[in-house]
Amino acid sequence: MKIRHILPSIAAFLLVSTASFADDGMWLPSLISQRIADMQAKGFKLTAEDIYSVNQASLKDAVVLFGSGCTGEIVSKDGLLLTNHHCGYSQIQQHSSVEHDYLKDGFWAMRRSEELPNPGLTVKFLDRMEDVTGIILKGCQETMTEAQRDSLVRANSSALMKQATAEGKGLRASVEAMYYGNQYYLFVYREFSDVRLVGAPPSSIGKFGGDTDNWMWPRHTGDFSMFRVYADKNNEPVAYSEDNVPYQPKRFLKISTKGVKEGDFTFVYGFPGSTQEYIHSKAVAYTAEISDPVKIDLRTRRLDIQKKYMSASQAVRIQYSSKNASVSNAWKKWQGEAKGLIRNDIVTKKADYEKRFEAWAHGTRYEGITTKLGRLYDELEKYSLAVDYYSETAYTTEIASFANRWVSMASREVSTLDEIMKLLDDIKALESSFFKDYYLPIDKESFIAVMNVFEKDMAQDMKPAWYLEQLASYGSVEAWAEEIFSKSIFRSPASCEEAVRTVEPIVAAGLGTTLKEGTMDKALEFFKADPAYQFYTNMYKWYTTDIYPRRTELNREITLLMRDYMNGQMEFEPHKDFFPDANLTLRVAYGNVGGYSPKDGVWYNPVSTLKGIIEKDNPEIFDYNIPQTLRDIYADGIAKGGAAAEKVKNQPVCFLATNHTTGGNSGSPVINADGELIGLNFDRVWEGTMSDLAFDPSFCRNITLDIRYLLFLVKEIGGAQWLIDEMLGN
């Protein structure tokens, strides 16, 4: 009995001592058996098969890719799903109006029939993943160029994906490169498209602290929303229908209300989007010293303009809330990232590493690789900068991208009257979804602000010729803006309608039993001459002809070298475990609950409480103005004194842990040593946002919403006891 107990721990000890296990890493679930000894050493009590199994239901069956960039988890046998408030934000916004402002007031379905459908929203369950490197690289030769290799890899991948999705409803597949293409994995998902909104707290809770607290600790955000996955009568994925029934998952997460304390084991199971942990010092320098500052400056200007109009009108506030949140989120993250990279001297550290690497690589096939990479990054810089400018200026002009979408839709092949009528309907739908959230003064002022920066800061020889001509003819960005925003067809629903009426005679003249060849082209000429459309197309053309090809070529060469450099790093440090960079595939990150020191003389505790919310509460400050109900609950508890007072004060809200996470991990389940759900991941700390490029376990922390705060809110603020029963009664 005793010996059986001791043997595995000796084995675990041996494993731990041969490989140097660090806290960082986002590990592939199918290979988690390689990490399980370390996980167990840190406190985990379950097995690798509990995390990922192809033979039986495992924790992976309760985790989903929510939408296109968040994670969610299933918490009941009836497909109830939890994710972040900011992940469900655009759905909550879509259902909101000035009369029913769910963003402001929250939303709680009190029965299943009140749950709200969300066209376009999907969730994906991972069915299986497998190493398919051999299949994908079949036919690849050393002598091939990177472009030739790329196209072969693409062809092999699509054949494999086709095969993988042939059987079964809702199957989706993707092949993803790991370690810069040293390995390839096939991921097969089941995608569900009837996903309904069940509940969301008011933004004053779900987004408490707003952009002031975003990316920071101490944090007190109730960042969650609830959805439910629906299926057909056979439990298969199907499009929305009233007759659909709640999906019965293979596995759902059991909730633990036991709580956490410093040192407790935790793991995050989710879909981290993108990291670059193994890149060259020059790439880090570009991010920290050039790219982040440029993008921050451009976004500051747009955010100021949005803020001005949003605070002046509730309607505009609703219209731009989702857009504003996403613009400001990256804006703030870049600030923390650039600061962290500089403060921690990451460029120098990477450069030192490269020196040591080269000393080791002397005489091997890796010799000189970092120098070659450095040269490529030097050449890449002006292209990267052009992309940064383009994507944060011209590309952000809403009216221009709408014009482009409008014209592409109208370019659809039509010949019969029925088809023409259908097209007109689709165009109307496109217009109403665009104008619902469009406020021209914001777009116009932003255009003027960012295009003036483009004019001033962009290298003259990198500017598009078309742009220079136009600017010269208008005389100023302001005059150009006048032309676009007061004359464009695409400036209002009325002007769109009028323009359609103008071309009606052209279409009518070309319409017999079918439409005469070329009729639509003639009608479209009118729209294509539009100044907003012209702006979009010509700037885009510049991007695709002058910037994109050379940049892609350079990036290909970089990837090719990185593939070797990756192998080289693995040989250089044979005892280190290298996880593949995040690429929006399912990963396991694990660590322990823990505080950190943000600066000299300061220690941050890893747990925040309701008391802290009350301390921050201030009706005068938008980000800190909590609902009166929450104030009342707190005051009631305090008034009762004794245990009741202690209870409200110590109501847990958020906690910190050392799990290595990134964007995409939002909404990820945070799981305890027993495999139970203890919270929802939703952010990282300011000092640690540099972790996408360089994770440092001494201060990089993920922020989790404590599941006990979620339960408290559903009950006390939502009054939705039925959901509590569903979550805890399983």
Q: Is 328 in the site for ligand ARG (CB under 6 A)?
A: yes
Q: Is 331 in the site for ligand ARG (CB under 6 A)?
A: no
Stretch that binds ligand GLU, among 162-170, 346-354, 368-376, 660-668 (CB under 6 A): 660-668
Q: Is 310 in the site for ligand ARG (CB under 6 A)?
A: no
Q: Which of residues 75-94 bind ligand ARG (CB under 6 A)?
A: 86
Q: Is 337 in the site for ligand ARG (CB under 6 A)?
A: no
Q: How many residues bind ligand ARG (CB under 6 A)?
A: 13
Q: Is 664 in the site for ligand GLU (CB under 6 A)?
A: yes
Stretch that binds ligand GLU, among 142-150, 387-395, 489-497, 680-688 (CB under 6 A): 680-688
Which of 199, 663, 675, 688 forms a contact with ligand ARG (CB under 6 A)?
A: 663
Give which of 195, 248, 239 is closest to 66, Cα–Cα: 195
Which of ligand GLU, ligand ARG, none has residue 661 at its interface (CB below 5 to 8 Å by kind)?
Answer: ligand GLU
Q: Is 397 in the site for ligand GLU (CB under 6 A)?
A: no
Residues with Cβ within 8 Å of residue 240, at least 6 apart in sequence: 117, 119, 193, 194, 230
SS3 state at 72? strand
Write the binding mask 269 to 308 for ligand ARG: x where contact by CB under 6 A, - elsewhere.
Answer: ----------------------------------------
DSSP 670: E
25 neighbors 650 (Cβ within 8 angstroms): no
First to last CA, the chain: 34
CB of 72 to ligand GLU, least distance (A): 12
Q: Is 207 in the site for ligand ARG (CB under 6 A)?
A: yes
Which of 665, 673, 694, 699 forms a contact with ligand GLU (CB under 6 A)?
A: 665
Which of 214, 397, 569, 672 forms a contact with ligand ARG (CB under 6 A)?
A: 214
* Six-digit token string for 539: 């700037």
CB of 73 to ligand ARG, least distance (A): 17
Q: Is 322 in the site for ligand GLU (CB under 6 A)?
A: no
Q: Is 66 in the site for ligand GLU (CB under 6 A)?
A: no
Long-range contacts of 364-370 (CB under 8 A, 24+ apart): 364/568, 365/564, 366/564, 366/565, 366/567, 366/568, 366/571, 369/561, 369/564, 369/565, 369/568, 370/280, 370/565
Give which of 586, 668, 705, 724 is closest to 74, Cα–Cα: 668
Q: Is 687 in the site for ligand ARG (CB under 6 A)?
A: no
Q: Which residue's CB is nearer to ligand GLU, number 383 or number 682?
A: 682
DSSP 689: G
CB of 514 to ligand ARG, least distance (A): 50
Q: Which residue's CB is nearer to ligand GLU, number 81 or number 316?
A: 81
Please tell me the distance from the alpha carbon of residue 217 to that of residue 689, in angstroms, as a whole number. Answer: 12
CB of 333 to ligand ARG, least distance (A): 6
Q: How many residues bind ligand GLU (CB under 6 A)?
A: 10
Residues written for the chain? 730
For residue 249, report the phi and psi dihedrals to the nearest 5 degrees.
Answer: -75, 160
Residue 218: asked if its preceding bond is cis (omega within 30°), the reply is yes
Catalytic residue from among 78, 127, 211, 223: 223
For 517, other C-beta atoms within 10 Å of its C-beta total 9
For 436, other C-beta atoms within 10 Å of its C-beta total 12
CB of 683 to ligand GLU, least distance (A): 5
Of all helices (H) and strands (E), which one includes residue 320?
helix 314-343
Residues with Cβ within 8 Å of residue 283, at least 6 apart in sequence: 276, 377
Which of 85, 220, 444, 684 forms a contact with ligand GLU (CB under 6 A)?
A: 684
Does the active-site annotation cover 17? no
Q: Which residue's CB is nearer to ligand GLU, number 157 or number 666?
A: 666
Give which of 49, 28, 79, 579 is closest to 271, Cα–Cα: 28
Stretch that binds ligand ARG, among 144-152, 276-284, 321-329, 524-532 (CB under 6 A): 321-329
Q: Which residue's CB is nearer to ligand ARG, number 66 or number 447?
A: 66
Does the active-site annotation cover 86? yes
CB of 89 to ligand ARG, least distance (A): 8
Q: Is 666 in the site for ligand GLU (CB under 6 A)?
A: yes
How deeply is 603 buried, as exposed, middle or buried, from its count of CB atoms within 10 A (0-12, 13-18, 19+)? exposed
Q: Which residue's CB is nearer to ligand ARG, number 329 or number 495?
A: 329
271 neighbors 258 (Cβ within 8 angstroms): no
Residues with Cβ within 8 Å of residue 3, at least 6 apart in sequence: none
Q: Is the dihedral of CA 719, 720, 722, 728 positive or negative?
A: negative
Catalytic residue from among 85, 86, 280, 660: 86
Longest dimension (CA), the chain: 92
626 neighbors 204 (Cβ within 8 angstroms): yes
Q: Which residue's CB is nearer to ligand ARG, number 658 or number 666?
A: 666
Please tell me the distance from the alpha carbon of residue 446 to that of residue 454, in angstroms, as a whole number. Answer: 12
Catalytic residue from among 225, 281, 666, 691: 666
* Six-digit token string for 202: 């008011």
Does the active-site annotation cover 666? yes
Please tell me the distance from the alpha carbon of residue 675 to that of residue 495, in angstroms, as a whole number. Answer: 58
Q: Is 329 in the site for ligand ARG (CB under 6 A)?
A: yes
Stretch that binds ligand GLU, among 374-382, 490-498, 503-511, 655-663 (CB under 6 A): 655-663
Which of ligand ARG, ligand GLU, none has residue 665 at its interface (CB below 5 to 8 Å by kind)?
Answer: ligand GLU
Please tell me the distance from the alpha carbon of residue 344 to that of residue 462, in angstroms, as a whole number. Answer: 33
Q: Is 663 in the site for ligand GLU (CB under 6 A)?
A: yes
The residues annotated as belonging to the active site are 86, 223, 666
Give residues in contact with ligand ARG (CB under 6 A).
86, 207, 210-211, 214-215, 325, 328-329, 663, 666, 682-683
Give residues in contact with ligand GLU (CB under 6 A).
70, 661-666, 682-684
